[in-house]
Structure 1
Amino acid sequence: MTEQDATLADASTPRYRSSAAARMVNIPVATLRVWERRYQVVGPAQAASGHRLYSSQDVRRLVLIKQLVNKGHGIGMLARMQTPQLQDLLHEAEQAEGLLQRSVAPVPARPTPRAADALTRLRVLLVGPDAGTRWRTTLEAVPELDVVGSLDASPQSELRVQHLQADMVVAELGALHMETVDWLVRLTKLVNARQMCVIYGFANSQVLEALRARGVILRRSPLAPHELSQALVDTVRGWQSVSEALRTLPDPAPPPRFDGPGLVNLAQSMPRVACECPQHLSELVTMLGQFEAYSADCESRQPADVTLHAYLYRVAGHARALMEEALATVAKAEGVALPERRPVR
Protein backbone atom coordinates (compact mmCIF):
# COMPACT_ATOMS: atom_id res chain seq x y z
CA MET A 1 0.00 0.00 0.00
CA THR A 2 1.39 3.38 -0.94
CA GLU A 3 1.62 6.25 1.50
CA GLN A 4 -1.24 8.03 -0.32
CA ASP A 5 -3.45 4.94 -0.11
CA ALA A 6 -2.67 4.63 3.58
CA THR A 7 -3.61 8.24 4.15
CA LEU A 8 -6.94 7.83 2.32
CA ALA A 9 -7.71 4.66 4.24
CA ASP A 10 -6.93 6.41 7.52
CA ALA A 11 -9.20 9.35 6.62
CA SER A 12 -12.10 7.00 5.93
CA THR A 13 -11.70 5.00 9.16
CA PRO A 14 -14.66 5.56 11.53
CA ARG A 15 -13.36 6.81 14.85
CA TYR A 16 -15.30 9.85 16.16
CA ARG A 17 -18.54 9.60 18.13
CA SER A 18 -21.39 12.07 17.53
CA SER A 19 -20.38 14.41 20.34
CA ALA A 20 -16.78 14.64 19.12
CA ALA A 21 -17.79 15.14 15.49
CA ALA A 22 -20.31 17.85 16.40
CA ARG A 23 -17.67 19.60 18.51
CA MET A 24 -15.16 19.62 15.64
CA VAL A 25 -17.80 20.98 13.24
CA ASN A 26 -18.98 23.50 15.88
CA ILE A 27 -22.64 22.53 15.77
CA PRO A 28 -24.94 21.08 18.45
CA VAL A 29 -25.28 17.29 18.48
CA ALA A 30 -29.04 17.79 17.97
CA THR A 31 -28.36 19.71 14.74
CA LEU A 32 -26.09 16.91 13.51
CA ARG A 33 -28.81 14.35 14.15
CA VAL A 34 -31.40 16.43 12.31
CA TRP A 35 -29.05 16.82 9.34
CA GLU A 36 -28.55 13.07 9.21
CA ARG A 37 -32.15 12.04 9.74
CA ARG A 38 -33.77 14.60 7.46
CA TYR A 39 -31.11 15.20 4.81
CA GLN A 40 -28.69 12.24 5.01
CA VAL A 41 -25.69 14.58 4.82
CA VAL A 42 -23.29 11.78 5.79
CA GLY A 43 -23.53 8.02 6.33
CA PRO A 44 -21.58 7.26 9.50
CA ALA A 45 -20.71 3.70 10.52
CA GLN A 46 -22.31 2.16 13.57
CA ALA A 47 -20.26 0.50 16.29
CA ALA A 48 -21.28 -2.71 18.02
CA SER A 49 -22.38 -0.57 20.98
CA GLY A 50 -24.83 1.27 18.72
CA HIS A 51 -22.92 4.55 18.68
CA ARG A 52 -22.45 6.33 15.35
CA LEU A 53 -18.84 6.70 14.33
CA TYR A 54 -17.60 9.36 11.91
CA SER A 55 -14.45 9.32 9.81
CA SER A 56 -12.18 12.28 9.08
CA GLN A 57 -13.79 12.44 5.63
CA ASP A 58 -17.24 12.65 7.24
CA VAL A 59 -16.07 15.48 9.50
CA ARG A 60 -14.49 17.34 6.58
CA ARG A 61 -17.75 17.09 4.63
CA LEU A 62 -19.72 18.36 7.62
CA VAL A 63 -17.32 21.31 8.03
CA LEU A 64 -17.81 22.26 4.37
CA ILE A 65 -21.59 22.07 4.74
CA LYS A 66 -21.50 24.15 7.92
CA GLN A 67 -19.39 26.84 6.20
CA LEU A 68 -21.74 26.98 3.22
CA VAL A 69 -24.83 27.09 5.45
CA ASN A 70 -23.24 30.07 7.24
CA LYS A 71 -22.91 31.74 3.83
CA GLY A 72 -26.65 31.33 3.22
CA HIS A 73 -26.87 28.11 1.21
CA GLY A 74 -29.74 25.72 1.96
CA ILE A 75 -28.91 22.47 3.74
CA GLY A 76 -31.29 20.50 1.51
CA MET A 77 -29.41 21.55 -1.61
CA LEU A 78 -25.97 20.97 -0.07
CA ALA A 79 -26.83 17.48 1.13
CA ARG A 80 -27.30 16.32 -2.48
CA MET A 81 -23.87 17.53 -3.59
CA GLN A 82 -20.70 15.46 -3.57
CA THR A 83 -17.86 16.59 -1.31
CA PRO A 84 -15.69 17.87 -4.22
CA GLN A 85 -18.65 19.93 -5.43
CA LEU A 86 -19.03 21.40 -1.95
CA GLN A 87 -15.37 22.32 -1.97
CA ASP A 88 -15.71 23.99 -5.38
CA LEU A 89 -18.81 25.91 -4.29
CA LEU A 90 -17.07 27.15 -1.15
CA HIS A 91 -14.02 28.20 -3.19
CA GLU A 92 -16.20 30.12 -5.65
CA ALA A 93 -18.10 31.81 -2.84
CA GLU A 94 -14.88 32.89 -1.14
CA GLN A 95 -13.49 34.20 -4.43
CA ALA A 96 -16.68 36.21 -5.02
CA GLU A 97 -16.52 37.64 -1.51
CA GLY A 98 -12.89 38.60 -2.03
CA LEU A 99 -13.71 40.41 -5.26
CA LEU A 100 -16.51 42.29 -3.59
CA GLN A 101 -14.31 43.33 -0.68
CA ARG A 102 -11.56 44.53 -3.02
CA SER A 103 -13.91 46.38 -5.31
CA VAL A 104 -13.00 50.05 -5.62
CA ALA A 105 -16.56 50.98 -6.58
CA PRO A 106 -18.95 49.05 -4.33
CA VAL A 107 -22.66 49.14 -5.10
CA PRO A 108 -24.17 51.91 -2.99
CA ALA A 109 -26.76 50.87 -0.45
CA ARG A 110 -30.34 51.65 -1.36
CA PRO A 111 -31.71 54.54 0.72
CA THR A 112 -34.05 53.65 3.52
CA PRO A 113 -37.79 54.00 2.80
CA ARG A 114 -38.10 57.01 5.10
CA ALA A 115 -35.66 59.02 2.99
CA ALA A 116 -36.27 57.48 -0.43
CA ASP A 117 -38.15 59.08 -3.26
CA ALA A 118 -41.06 57.19 -4.77
CA LEU A 119 -39.96 54.47 -7.14
CA THR A 120 -40.27 55.29 -10.81
CA ARG A 121 -39.13 51.87 -12.13
CA LEU A 122 -39.28 48.47 -10.49
CA ARG A 123 -36.02 46.53 -10.83
CA VAL A 124 -36.86 42.89 -11.55
CA LEU A 125 -34.66 39.81 -11.29
CA LEU A 126 -35.98 36.78 -13.21
CA VAL A 127 -35.37 33.32 -11.74
CA GLY A 128 -36.03 29.91 -13.25
CA PRO A 129 -34.84 27.64 -16.07
CA ASP A 130 -36.84 29.49 -18.74
CA ALA A 131 -37.82 32.69 -16.92
CA GLY A 132 -35.43 34.93 -18.85
CA THR A 133 -36.59 33.63 -22.24
CA ARG A 134 -40.27 33.65 -21.32
CA TRP A 135 -40.68 36.97 -19.52
CA ARG A 136 -37.85 39.38 -20.35
CA THR A 137 -39.34 40.79 -23.58
CA THR A 138 -42.78 41.18 -22.03
CA LEU A 139 -41.56 42.96 -18.90
CA GLU A 140 -39.04 45.20 -20.65
CA ALA A 141 -41.91 46.61 -22.72
CA VAL A 142 -43.56 47.98 -19.54
CA PRO A 143 -42.33 51.52 -18.69
CA GLU A 144 -42.52 50.94 -14.93
CA LEU A 145 -40.32 47.80 -15.04
CA ASP A 146 -36.59 47.26 -15.53
CA VAL A 147 -35.22 43.70 -15.85
CA VAL A 148 -31.77 43.70 -14.21
CA GLY A 149 -30.89 40.04 -14.84
CA SER A 150 -31.98 36.43 -15.02
CA LEU A 151 -30.63 33.17 -13.63
CA ASP A 152 -31.50 29.51 -13.40
CA ALA A 153 -32.11 27.63 -10.16
CA SER A 154 -28.67 26.00 -9.84
CA PRO A 155 -26.59 26.45 -6.66
CA GLN A 156 -23.79 28.19 -8.57
CA SER A 157 -26.20 30.78 -9.99
CA GLU A 158 -26.23 32.66 -6.69
CA LEU A 159 -22.64 33.72 -7.31
CA ARG A 160 -23.74 35.70 -10.37
CA VAL A 161 -26.16 37.98 -8.52
CA GLN A 162 -24.05 39.23 -5.64
CA HIS A 163 -23.36 42.45 -7.54
CA LEU A 164 -27.03 43.02 -8.46
CA GLN A 165 -29.66 45.13 -6.74
CA ALA A 166 -33.34 44.37 -7.39
CA ASP A 167 -36.67 45.43 -5.96
CA MET A 168 -38.56 42.30 -6.98
CA VAL A 169 -37.58 38.66 -7.56
CA VAL A 170 -39.86 36.95 -10.08
CA ALA A 171 -39.40 33.18 -10.01
CA GLU A 172 -41.07 30.67 -12.31
CA LEU A 173 -40.58 27.15 -10.99
CA GLY A 174 -42.48 23.99 -11.85
CA ALA A 175 -42.53 22.51 -8.33
CA LEU A 176 -42.03 24.18 -4.96
CA HIS A 177 -40.63 22.56 -1.81
CA MET A 178 -39.64 23.95 1.58
CA GLU A 179 -35.99 24.02 0.53
CA THR A 180 -37.10 26.09 -2.48
CA VAL A 181 -38.63 28.61 -0.08
CA ASP A 182 -35.34 28.84 1.85
CA TRP A 183 -33.39 29.33 -1.38
CA LEU A 184 -35.72 32.06 -2.65
CA VAL A 185 -35.60 33.91 0.67
CA ARG A 186 -31.81 33.78 0.64
CA LEU A 187 -31.70 34.97 -2.98
CA THR A 188 -34.06 37.84 -2.19
CA LYS A 189 -31.77 38.98 0.61
CA LEU A 190 -28.71 38.73 -1.64
CA VAL A 191 -30.14 41.25 -4.10
CA ASN A 192 -31.77 43.38 -1.37
CA ALA A 193 -35.23 42.88 -2.89
CA ARG A 194 -38.41 43.94 -1.16
CA GLN A 195 -40.66 41.23 -2.46
CA MET A 196 -41.04 38.03 -4.43
CA CYS A 197 -43.49 36.94 -7.09
CA VAL A 198 -43.58 33.17 -7.57
CA ILE A 199 -45.22 31.43 -10.52
CA TYR A 200 -45.55 27.73 -9.79
CA GLY A 201 -46.97 24.54 -11.15
CA PHE A 202 -47.30 22.35 -8.06
CA ALA A 203 -46.81 22.88 -4.34
CA ASN A 204 -48.34 21.55 -1.14
CA SER A 205 -50.31 23.75 1.24
CA GLN A 206 -47.46 23.99 3.77
CA VAL A 207 -45.12 25.49 1.19
CA LEU A 208 -47.76 27.93 -0.08
CA GLU A 209 -48.54 29.08 3.47
CA ALA A 210 -44.83 29.64 4.12
CA LEU A 211 -44.65 31.84 1.03
CA ARG A 212 -47.85 33.74 1.86
CA ALA A 213 -46.50 34.42 5.37
CA ARG A 214 -43.58 36.20 3.70
CA GLY A 215 -45.85 38.41 1.61
CA VAL A 216 -45.04 36.61 -1.63
CA ILE A 217 -47.25 37.25 -4.68
CA LEU A 218 -48.33 33.78 -5.84
CA ARG A 219 -49.58 32.94 -9.32
CA ARG A 220 -50.36 29.49 -10.71
CA SER A 221 -48.98 28.62 -14.13
CA PRO A 222 -49.76 28.92 -16.95
CA LEU A 223 -49.87 32.69 -16.55
CA ALA A 224 -50.68 35.14 -19.32
CA PRO A 225 -48.02 37.85 -19.89
CA HIS A 226 -50.41 40.72 -19.18
CA GLU A 227 -51.38 39.16 -15.83
CA LEU A 228 -47.78 39.15 -14.62
CA SER A 229 -47.13 42.65 -15.93
CA GLN A 230 -50.25 43.98 -14.21
CA ALA A 231 -49.34 42.34 -10.89
CA LEU A 232 -45.90 43.97 -10.92
CA VAL A 233 -47.20 47.36 -12.05
CA ASP A 234 -49.80 47.30 -9.25
CA THR A 235 -46.99 46.58 -6.81
CA VAL A 236 -44.80 49.50 -7.87
CA ARG A 237 -47.76 51.87 -7.91
CA GLY A 238 -48.68 50.78 -4.41
CA TRP A 239 -45.13 51.48 -3.24
CA GLN A 240 -45.20 54.88 -4.94
CA SER A 241 -48.46 55.78 -3.21
CA VAL A 242 -47.13 54.91 0.23
CA SER A 243 -43.80 56.66 -0.39
CA GLU A 244 -45.61 59.85 -1.41
CA ALA A 245 -47.82 59.67 1.69
CA LEU A 246 -44.74 59.14 3.87
CA ARG A 247 -43.10 62.29 2.50
CA THR A 248 -46.15 64.39 3.39
CA LEU A 249 -45.81 63.55 7.09
CA PRO A 250 -43.81 65.84 9.38
CA ASP A 251 -40.61 64.66 11.00
CA PRO A 252 -40.73 61.53 13.20
CA ALA A 253 -42.97 61.90 16.23
CA PRO A 254 -41.52 62.95 19.58
CA PRO A 255 -40.75 60.19 22.08
CA PRO A 256 -43.53 59.10 24.46
CA ARG A 257 -44.39 61.77 26.99
CA PHE A 258 -45.73 59.48 29.72
CA ASP A 259 -44.89 55.98 30.88
CA GLY A 260 -47.52 53.40 31.83
CA PRO A 261 -47.79 54.19 35.55
CA GLY A 262 -47.72 57.92 34.81
CA LEU A 263 -50.71 57.56 32.46
CA VAL A 264 -52.73 55.63 35.03
CA ASN A 265 -51.96 58.10 37.82
CA LEU A 266 -52.74 61.08 35.61
CA ALA A 267 -56.15 59.72 34.60
CA GLN A 268 -57.00 58.88 38.21
CA SER A 269 -55.97 62.35 39.40
CA MET A 270 -58.84 64.09 37.59
CA PRO A 271 -61.93 63.20 39.65
CA ARG A 272 -63.73 66.46 38.84
CA VAL A 273 -64.28 65.40 35.24
CA ALA A 274 -67.72 63.83 35.39
CA CYS A 275 -67.29 61.69 32.27
CA GLU A 276 -64.53 59.19 31.69
CA CYS A 277 -62.70 61.17 29.01
CA PRO A 278 -59.35 61.18 30.88
CA GLN A 279 -59.51 57.42 31.19
CA HIS A 280 -60.42 57.04 27.52
CA LEU A 281 -57.58 59.36 26.49
CA SER A 282 -55.16 57.34 28.61
CA GLU A 283 -56.30 54.13 26.95
CA LEU A 284 -55.97 55.68 23.48
CA VAL A 285 -52.41 56.82 24.24
CA THR A 286 -51.54 53.31 25.43
CA MET A 287 -53.06 51.62 22.40
CA LEU A 288 -51.44 54.01 19.93
CA GLY A 289 -48.08 53.48 21.61
CA GLN A 290 -48.52 49.74 21.30
CA PHE A 291 -49.44 50.04 17.61
CA GLU A 292 -46.46 52.35 17.08
CA ALA A 293 -44.14 49.68 18.50
CA TYR A 294 -45.90 46.97 16.49
CA SER A 295 -45.45 48.91 13.24
CA ALA A 296 -41.78 49.45 13.98
CA ASP A 297 -41.38 45.71 14.50
CA CYS A 298 -43.22 44.97 11.24
CA GLU A 299 -40.98 47.48 9.46
CA SER A 300 -37.91 45.42 10.41
CA ARG A 301 -39.49 42.02 9.77
CA GLN A 302 -41.51 42.52 6.58
CA PRO A 303 -39.29 43.64 3.69
CA ALA A 304 -42.17 43.41 1.23
CA ASP A 305 -44.09 46.15 3.10
CA VAL A 306 -41.27 48.08 4.74
CA THR A 307 -42.40 51.46 3.37
CA LEU A 308 -46.00 50.84 4.40
CA HIS A 309 -44.98 49.98 7.95
CA ALA A 310 -42.61 52.96 8.10
CA TYR A 311 -45.61 55.11 7.18
CA LEU A 312 -47.87 53.45 9.77
CA TYR A 313 -45.16 53.76 12.42
CA ARG A 314 -44.87 57.49 11.85
CA VAL A 315 -48.63 58.06 11.68
CA ALA A 316 -49.15 56.11 14.93
CA GLY A 317 -46.42 58.14 16.62
CA HIS A 318 -47.97 61.47 15.67
CA ALA A 319 -51.43 60.25 16.69
CA ARG A 320 -50.04 59.13 20.05
CA ALA A 321 -48.36 62.54 20.53
CA LEU A 322 -51.65 64.33 19.75
CA MET A 323 -53.55 62.21 22.28
CA GLU A 324 -50.83 62.88 24.86
CA GLU A 325 -51.19 66.60 24.26
CA ALA A 326 -54.98 66.31 24.61
CA LEU A 327 -54.59 64.47 27.91
CA ALA A 328 -52.08 67.06 29.16
CA THR A 329 -54.49 69.89 28.19
CA VAL A 330 -57.35 68.29 30.16
CA ALA A 331 -55.04 67.80 33.15
CA LYS A 332 -53.97 71.46 33.10
CA ALA A 333 -57.62 72.53 32.91
CA GLU A 334 -58.27 70.43 36.02
CA GLY A 335 -55.26 71.84 37.84
CA VAL A 336 -53.47 68.47 37.94
CA ALA A 337 -49.69 68.45 37.82
CA LEU A 338 -48.22 66.56 34.90
CA PRO A 339 -45.70 63.79 35.51
CA GLU A 340 -42.18 64.55 34.37
CA ARG A 341 -41.24 63.59 30.83
CA ARG A 342 -39.24 60.39 30.52
CA PRO A 343 -35.63 61.06 29.57
CA VAL A 344 -34.89 60.43 25.87
CA ARG A 345 -32.39 57.60 25.41
Structure 2
Amino acid sequence: MAGLPVETLRVWERRYQISDTRRSSHGQRLYSAEQVERLALLKQLVDQGHGIGLLAGLSRQQLQLMLEQHNPVQSSSSAAPIRVVVVGTSLPRRVVALGAEAIGLDLRVRCATLAELNEQEPDGDAEVLILEKAELDDSVLPRIDALRERIPAARLVLYRFSSSATIRALRSAGCVVARLPADLNELALLCRLAMRGQRLPLSHTPAAVPAPRYAEDSLAMLAQASGRVSCECPRHLAEVLLTVGSFERYSAQCAVRSPEDAELHATLERSAGQARALLEDALERLALAEGISVVTKGG
Protein backbone atom coordinates (compact mmCIF):
# COMPACT_ATOMS: atom_id res chain seq x y z
CA MET A 1 0.00 0.00 0.00
CA ALA A 2 2.87 2.39 0.73
CA GLY A 3 4.99 1.12 -2.18
CA LEU A 4 7.85 0.06 0.10
CA PRO A 5 9.79 -3.22 -0.11
CA VAL A 6 9.47 -5.14 3.14
CA GLU A 7 13.27 -5.23 3.54
CA THR A 8 13.52 -1.43 3.32
CA LEU A 9 10.66 -0.97 5.76
CA ARG A 10 12.30 -3.27 8.32
CA VAL A 11 15.63 -1.40 8.04
CA TRP A 12 13.88 1.95 8.52
CA GLU A 13 11.97 0.64 11.51
CA ARG A 14 15.08 -0.83 13.11
CA ARG A 15 17.37 2.12 12.50
CA TYR A 16 15.05 5.14 12.64
CA GLN A 17 12.04 3.89 14.64
CA ILE A 18 9.72 5.33 11.97
CA SER A 19 6.61 3.42 13.04
CA ASP A 20 5.33 2.07 16.35
CA THR A 21 3.16 -0.82 15.24
CA ARG A 22 0.96 -3.12 17.26
CA ARG A 23 1.04 -6.89 16.86
CA SER A 24 -1.74 -9.32 16.13
CA SER A 25 -2.25 -12.47 18.19
CA HIS A 26 -0.11 -14.27 15.59
CA GLY A 27 2.72 -11.74 15.85
CA GLN A 28 2.01 -9.87 12.59
CA ARG A 29 2.57 -6.12 12.47
CA LEU A 30 -0.62 -4.04 12.32
CA TYR A 31 -0.45 -0.65 10.58
CA SER A 32 -3.09 2.08 10.88
CA ALA A 33 -4.25 4.06 7.85
CA GLU A 34 -2.36 7.11 9.15
CA GLN A 35 0.87 5.08 9.45
CA VAL A 36 0.48 3.79 5.89
CA GLU A 37 -0.07 7.34 4.63
CA ARG A 38 3.07 8.54 6.44
CA LEU A 39 5.12 5.66 5.02
CA ALA A 40 3.89 6.52 1.52
CA LEU A 41 5.00 10.14 2.03
CA LEU A 42 8.43 8.95 3.22
CA LYS A 43 8.74 6.74 0.14
CA GLN A 44 7.89 9.61 -2.23
CA LEU A 45 10.36 11.99 -0.59
CA VAL A 46 13.17 9.42 -0.51
CA ASP A 47 12.54 8.75 -4.20
CA GLN A 48 13.01 12.48 -4.78
CA GLY A 49 16.47 12.24 -3.26
CA HIS A 50 15.90 13.25 0.38
CA GLY A 51 17.74 11.33 3.08
CA ILE A 52 15.64 9.13 5.35
CA GLY A 53 17.72 10.37 8.29
CA LEU A 54 16.31 13.89 7.84
CA LEU A 55 12.76 12.70 7.22
CA ALA A 56 12.42 10.13 9.99
CA GLY A 57 11.68 12.60 12.78
CA LEU A 58 9.17 14.72 10.86
CA SER A 59 5.42 14.52 11.42
CA ARG A 60 2.98 13.52 8.69
CA GLN A 61 1.97 17.18 8.29
CA GLN A 62 5.61 18.28 7.92
CA LEU A 63 6.24 15.55 5.36
CA GLN A 64 3.19 16.67 3.38
CA LEU A 65 4.43 20.27 3.43
CA MET A 66 7.82 19.12 2.21
CA LEU A 67 6.28 17.12 -0.63
CA GLU A 68 4.13 20.06 -1.71
CA GLN A 69 7.20 22.30 -1.63
CA HIS A 70 8.88 20.07 -4.25
CA ASN A 71 5.82 19.24 -6.33
CA PRO A 72 4.76 22.13 -8.57
CA VAL A 73 1.45 20.42 -9.32
CA GLN A 74 0.45 20.22 -5.68
CA SER A 75 2.06 23.44 -4.41
CA SER A 76 0.64 26.87 -5.03
CA SER A 77 2.30 28.54 -7.99
CA SER A 78 1.47 31.95 -6.51
CA ALA A 79 3.45 31.34 -3.30
CA ALA A 80 5.95 34.17 -2.91
CA PRO A 81 9.63 33.36 -2.27
CA ILE A 82 10.68 33.57 1.37
CA ARG A 83 12.64 36.73 2.15
CA VAL A 84 15.89 35.63 3.80
CA VAL A 85 19.15 36.94 5.19
CA VAL A 86 21.90 34.31 4.90
CA VAL A 87 25.05 34.35 7.02
CA GLY A 88 27.83 31.80 6.61
CA THR A 89 31.12 30.91 4.98
CA SER A 90 29.82 28.66 2.20
CA LEU A 91 25.99 28.66 2.30
CA PRO A 92 25.50 32.14 0.74
CA ARG A 93 27.70 31.19 -2.21
CA ARG A 94 25.85 27.90 -2.68
CA VAL A 95 22.48 29.67 -2.65
CA VAL A 96 23.66 32.20 -5.25
CA ALA A 97 25.22 29.47 -7.43
CA LEU A 98 22.04 27.37 -7.41
CA GLY A 99 19.76 30.37 -7.75
CA ALA A 100 17.80 31.62 -4.74
CA GLU A 101 14.51 31.88 -6.62
CA ALA A 102 14.90 28.33 -7.93
CA ILE A 103 14.71 27.02 -4.35
CA GLY A 104 11.93 29.37 -3.25
CA LEU A 105 14.01 32.09 -1.57
CA ASP A 106 14.36 35.84 -2.01
CA LEU A 107 17.95 36.54 -0.92
CA ARG A 108 17.94 40.04 0.62
CA VAL A 109 21.32 40.10 2.37
CA ARG A 110 24.28 37.70 2.40
CA CYS A 111 27.52 37.90 4.34
CA ALA A 112 30.14 35.66 5.93
CA THR A 113 29.80 36.52 9.64
CA LEU A 114 27.38 38.05 12.13
CA ALA A 115 29.91 40.84 12.74
CA GLU A 116 29.80 41.68 9.03
CA LEU A 117 26.00 41.61 9.15
CA ASN A 118 26.09 44.17 11.97
CA GLU A 119 27.87 46.61 9.67
CA GLN A 120 25.24 46.36 6.92
CA GLU A 121 21.91 48.13 6.65
CA PRO A 122 19.26 46.14 8.57
CA ASP A 123 16.50 44.45 6.63
CA GLY A 124 13.40 44.65 8.78
CA ASP A 125 11.36 43.04 5.98
CA ALA A 126 13.24 39.71 6.08
CA GLU A 127 11.19 36.72 7.16
CA VAL A 128 14.02 34.34 8.15
CA LEU A 129 17.60 34.88 9.28
CA ILE A 130 19.63 31.80 8.28
CA LEU A 131 22.91 31.28 10.11
CA GLU A 132 25.33 28.62 8.88
CA LYS A 133 27.98 27.62 11.42
CA ALA A 134 29.81 24.34 10.92
CA GLU A 135 30.98 24.03 14.54
CA LEU A 136 28.22 25.48 16.69
CA ASP A 137 28.92 26.71 20.24
CA ASP A 138 27.24 28.80 22.96
CA SER A 139 28.94 32.04 21.86
CA VAL A 140 26.54 32.41 18.94
CA LEU A 141 23.40 32.82 21.09
CA PRO A 142 24.00 36.37 22.45
CA ARG A 143 25.12 37.53 19.00
CA ILE A 144 21.91 36.26 17.43
CA ASP A 145 19.82 37.86 20.18
CA ALA A 146 21.59 41.19 19.66
CA LEU A 147 20.20 41.32 16.10
CA ARG A 148 16.54 40.92 17.03
CA GLU A 149 15.73 44.64 16.97
CA ARG A 150 17.50 45.16 13.64
CA ILE A 151 16.21 41.97 11.99
CA PRO A 152 13.02 40.76 13.74
CA ALA A 153 12.82 37.58 11.66
CA ALA A 154 12.51 33.88 12.47
CA ARG A 155 15.87 32.23 13.25
CA LEU A 156 17.17 29.14 11.42
CA VAL A 157 20.55 27.85 12.60
CA LEU A 158 22.32 25.19 10.50
CA TYR A 159 25.33 23.23 11.76
CA ARG A 160 27.54 20.20 11.21
CA PHE A 161 28.75 19.58 14.77
CA SER A 162 27.29 20.84 18.02
CA SER A 163 26.70 19.80 21.60
CA SER A 164 23.18 18.93 22.74
CA ALA A 165 23.36 21.71 25.36
CA THR A 166 24.00 24.37 22.71
CA ILE A 167 21.11 23.12 20.57
CA ARG A 168 18.75 23.10 23.56
CA ALA A 169 19.77 26.68 24.45
CA LEU A 170 19.16 27.91 20.90
CA ARG A 171 15.78 26.18 20.73
CA SER A 172 14.77 27.67 24.07
CA ALA A 173 15.58 31.07 22.54
CA GLY A 174 13.13 30.36 19.70
CA CYS A 175 15.55 29.22 16.99
CA VAL A 176 14.96 26.27 14.68
CA VAL A 177 18.17 24.22 14.66
CA ALA A 178 19.01 21.59 12.05
CA ARG A 179 21.99 19.94 10.41
CA LEU A 180 23.19 21.53 7.19
CA PRO A 181 21.18 19.90 4.39
CA ALA A 182 23.11 18.41 1.49
CA ASP A 183 20.23 19.33 -0.82
CA LEU A 184 19.58 23.10 -0.79
CA ASN A 185 16.04 22.46 -2.03
CA GLU A 186 15.28 21.61 1.61
CA LEU A 187 16.13 25.18 2.74
CA ALA A 188 12.70 26.59 1.91
CA LEU A 189 11.03 23.84 3.94
CA LEU A 190 13.26 24.56 6.94
CA CYS A 191 12.52 28.27 6.59
CA ARG A 192 8.77 27.61 6.60
CA LEU A 193 9.13 25.47 9.72
CA ALA A 194 11.07 28.33 11.36
CA MET A 195 8.36 30.84 10.39
CA ARG A 196 5.70 28.58 11.91
CA GLY A 197 7.73 28.02 15.06
CA GLN A 198 7.94 24.26 14.48
CA ARG A 199 10.86 22.29 15.85
CA LEU A 200 12.80 19.47 14.26
CA PRO A 201 12.98 16.61 16.79
CA LEU A 202 15.94 14.85 15.18
CA SER A 203 18.69 17.45 15.23
CA HIS A 204 20.26 16.67 18.58
CA THR A 205 18.87 13.21 19.31
CA PRO A 206 20.98 10.73 17.36
CA ALA A 207 19.51 7.36 16.53
CA ALA A 208 20.81 4.51 18.64
CA VAL A 209 23.79 2.78 17.03
CA PRO A 210 23.32 -1.00 16.89
CA ALA A 211 26.04 -3.29 18.25
CA PRO A 212 28.47 -4.81 15.71
CA ARG A 213 26.76 -7.63 13.87
CA TYR A 214 29.70 -9.63 12.50
CA ALA A 215 32.50 -11.39 14.33
CA GLU A 216 35.84 -9.72 13.62
CA ASP A 217 37.64 -12.99 12.88
CA SER A 218 34.95 -13.87 10.33
CA LEU A 219 35.45 -10.51 8.60
CA ALA A 220 39.21 -11.02 8.65
CA MET A 221 38.86 -14.43 6.99
CA LEU A 222 36.61 -12.97 4.33
CA ALA A 223 39.00 -10.06 3.72
CA GLN A 224 41.92 -12.47 3.23
CA ALA A 225 40.03 -14.87 0.98
CA SER A 226 41.32 -15.25 -2.54
CA GLY A 227 39.05 -14.28 -5.39
CA ARG A 228 37.24 -17.58 -5.87
CA VAL A 229 34.10 -15.79 -7.04
CA SER A 230 33.70 -13.36 -9.90
CA CYS A 231 32.78 -10.49 -7.55
CA GLU A 232 35.55 -9.11 -5.32
CA CYS A 233 33.16 -6.79 -3.46
CA PRO A 234 32.62 -9.05 -0.37
CA ARG A 235 36.37 -9.10 0.29
CA HIS A 236 36.76 -5.35 -0.19
CA LEU A 237 33.70 -4.60 1.93
CA ALA A 238 35.02 -6.82 4.74
CA GLU A 239 38.28 -4.85 4.69
CA VAL A 240 36.40 -1.55 4.96
CA LEU A 241 34.26 -2.91 7.81
CA LEU A 242 37.35 -3.97 9.74
CA THR A 243 38.82 -0.48 9.37
CA VAL A 244 35.63 1.35 10.32
CA GLY A 245 35.05 -0.96 13.30
CA SER A 246 38.60 -0.38 14.49
CA PHE A 247 38.17 3.40 14.25
CA GLU A 248 34.87 3.17 16.14
CA ARG A 249 36.57 1.35 19.02
CA TYR A 250 39.56 3.71 18.93
CA SER A 251 37.29 6.77 19.19
CA ALA A 252 35.53 5.24 22.21
CA GLN A 253 38.86 4.66 23.98
CA CYS A 254 40.64 7.85 22.89
CA ALA A 255 41.96 9.99 25.74
CA VAL A 256 40.18 13.34 26.09
CA ARG A 257 41.60 16.64 27.24
CA SER A 258 38.40 18.64 27.81
CA PRO A 259 34.59 18.34 27.72
CA GLU A 260 34.68 19.71 24.16
CA ASP A 261 37.21 17.04 23.19
CA ALA A 262 35.01 14.37 24.79
CA GLU A 263 31.99 15.59 22.77
CA LEU A 264 34.04 15.47 19.56
CA HIS A 265 35.22 11.90 20.13
CA ALA A 266 31.71 10.81 21.10
CA THR A 267 30.53 12.23 17.76
CA LEU A 268 33.32 10.40 15.94
CA GLU A 269 32.42 7.13 17.64
CA ARG A 270 28.72 7.56 16.83
CA SER A 271 29.42 8.49 13.20
CA ALA A 272 31.72 5.51 12.75
CA GLY A 273 29.10 3.24 14.32
CA GLN A 274 26.40 4.52 11.98
CA ALA A 275 28.69 4.00 8.98
CA ARG A 276 29.54 0.51 10.21
CA ALA A 277 25.83 -0.39 10.55
CA LEU A 278 25.16 0.76 6.98
CA LEU A 279 28.08 -1.29 5.68
CA GLU A 280 26.87 -4.33 7.63
CA ASP A 281 23.48 -4.03 5.90
CA ALA A 282 25.30 -3.88 2.56
CA LEU A 283 27.42 -6.93 3.40
CA GLU A 284 24.33 -8.90 4.43
CA ARG A 285 22.68 -8.27 1.06
CA LEU A 286 25.91 -8.95 -0.80
CA ALA A 287 26.50 -12.22 1.05
CA LEU A 288 22.99 -13.40 0.19
CA ALA A 289 23.48 -12.51 -3.46
CA GLU A 290 26.84 -14.29 -3.67
CA GLY A 291 25.88 -17.29 -1.51
CA ILE A 292 28.57 -16.47 1.08
CA SER A 293 28.29 -17.30 4.75
CA VAL A 294 29.57 -14.64 7.18
CA VAL A 295 29.48 -15.56 10.88
CA THR A 296 27.56 -13.09 13.04
CA LYS A 297 28.38 -12.42 16.67
CA GLY A 298 26.94 -15.18 18.77
CA GLY A 299 26.24 -17.15 15.60
Interval of TM-score (by shorter of Structure 1 and Structure 2): 0.3 to 0.5
User: Which entry has the higher C-alpha Rg, 1 or 2?
Assistant: 1
Greater share of residues in helix: 1
TM (norm. structure 2) is 0.35
